Amino acid sequence: MIYMVEMALLDTGRRVEWEAWYVAHQHRLLSIPGIHASQRFECIHAAAAPFVALHEVDGPQVFTSAAYREQAGPSNTGEWQTKMGNWHRNVFRGLEHTPDVPMDMRLVVVERNCEASLPRDADLHWLEAVGLDQTVRRRGVAMMPPAQADLLAGTPGIRVLKPLGPRLVT
């Protein structure tokens, strides 16, 4: 299953500090039983939630575990809790593993009924929300080369994201 976290950084003047904190946070997440991979992304265009993290998890039960509650979740984000806005956390089924998006590719996140703008050969995977906020019921993800994906930047209901780092795994 995929745990998708999306947000905006409100205090952009502290971006370098936030990046360092978030990478350490990814490693902390990967130490929790049931979390197996993590990768972060940033939109190449303006968006309400320009930062997205995909984490591979066993299922929604991971978030009720003692290990998760002690090391992660909203109560463990420290000062960054108030510096992140438009923050949504959803668990999706539809893919067993998070995609491993190379640094020279794009992750395209597609909202329901917006897929008509995608190229016909796009390998779109639909995900269904099954846990946490469930702010959307259904969302698609596809990995695409920049030459194709970047043409979609700014299309309503589509976010084109570049990787901020490699996919980390346990």
| CATH architecture of the domain with range 2-165 | 2-Layer Sandwich (3.30)
Find tokens 């905006």 and name the residue. Answer: 8
pLDDT digits (tens, 9 = 90+) for 63-118: 999 999 888 877 777 788 888 888 999 999 999 999 999 999 999 999 999 999 99
**Cβ neighbours of residue 33 under 8 Å, at least 6 residues apart?**
62, 65, 67
**162 pLDDT above the threshold of 80:** yes
pLDDT of res. 159: 98
Phi-psi sector, 65: left (phi>0), alpha (psi -120 to 50), beta: beta
pLDDT digits (tens, 9 = 90+) for 114-125: 999 999 999 999
Structure tokens at 167: 């996919």
pLDDT of res. 70: 86
pLDDT of res. 49: 95
